[in-house]
Amino acid sequence: MKKVISDVGEKLRAKESKLTTRRELVLKVLLENNGKHLSAEEVYNLVKLRAPDVGLATVYRTLELFQEFDLIQTIDFGDGRKRYEFGPEAGENHHHHHLICIKCGSIIEVNEDLLEELENRVSKKHNFTVTDHQLKIFGVCEQCKKPK
Structural domains of the chain, with CATH: 1-87 (1.10.10.10), 91-148 (3.30.1490.190)
Annotated binding site for Fe cation: 95, 116, 133
Annotated binding site: 95, 101, 104, 116, 133, 141, 144
Which pLDDT band holds residue 93 (cuts at 50, 70, 90)?
Answer: low
What was the pLDDT predicted at 95? 59
Annotated binding site for Zn(2+): 101, 104, 141, 144
Alpha helices for 15-141 (secondary structure H): 21-32, 40-50, 56-68, 116-126
Q: What is the pTM of this model?
A: 0.69
Among the residue ranges 17-21, 24-28, 134-138, 139-143, the one predicted with the least confidence is: 134-138
Neighbouring residues of 79: CB distance < 8 A, sequence distance ≥ 6:
105
